[in-house]
Structure 1
Amino acid sequence: MSDNEGRKDLRMPDDDEVFAVVLDMLGANRVRVRCMDGQTRTARIPGKMQKRIWIREDDVVLVEPWDWQDEKADITWRYDKQEADQLKEEGHIQE
């Protein structure tokens, strides 16, 4: 277990979700994200997350792209700093 010490089981993306990094805050509960599928999208922070979870630039998040408009998405999850570092170490997120 010495190799995996401190490793947590993290929430991984569902079929329709992708990892993304927050590029900048647009206001009105919207952020610009760079998704790991190569797209840059405008993502919406849903109402249930707005008051509980603070999202800042360079945060790693899970987004669910809209099926009817590919340049938009909803944020479904935010990883904290340690979780984000772990995802980068394991190669899920490219800088």
Structure 2
Amino acid sequence: MLGANHIRVRCEDGVTRTGRIKGKIKKRLWIREGDLLIVVPWSFQDEKCDIVYRYVRAQVDWLKRRNLLNR
């Protein structure tokens, strides 16, 4: 966590980006270290992204059982 609704995210492509937690997600979900997130990189700044969704533990387990997650 970087403060002011920003978080450092390590993406699947190996790039570490600064993610912005949108207000819609900020009010509903807590994001912790180690969570699986869906992010959308900005088209004009590759080192920044928006956090779109956070998977809960049950969803991550389901993805692993179906071999849809390489983690």
TM-score computed with the length of structure 2 as normaliser: 0.86
Output the amino acid matched with 1:46.
Answer: K
**Equivalence for 1:76:** 52
Maintained 8 Å contact 1:36/1:93:
no
Match of residue 49 from structure 1: 25
Matched, 1:66 2:55: no
Take 1:75 and 1:88, find their aligned partners in 2: how far apart are those partners? 21
| Secondary structure class of the residue paired with 2:28 | coil
Following TM superposition, by how much is the alpha carbon of 1:83 offset from its aligned partner in structure 2, in angstroms? 1.3
1:1-95 alignment runs, 5 A limit:
25-89=1-65, 90-94=67-71
Output the amino acid matched with 2:42. Answer: W
> Which ranges in structure 1 are unaligned for 5 or more consecutive residues?
1-24
Q: Higher strand share goes to which structure?
A: 1
Query: Between the two proteins, what is the percent identity of the paired residues?
Result: 56
Q: How many residues align?
A: 70
- Match for residue 3 of structure 1? none
After TM superposition, give the deviation of residue 87 of structure 1 in Å. Answer: 3.0
Flag structure 2 segments of 5+ consecutive residues without an equivalent. Answer: none
> What is the rounded CA distance, in whole Å, between the counterparts of 2:64 and 2:8 in structure 1?
20
Say what the alpha-carbon RMSD is for the aligned residues.
1.4
When normalised by structure 1's length, the TM-score is 0.66
CA distance in 1: counterparts of 2:70 and 2:37, whole angstroms: 11
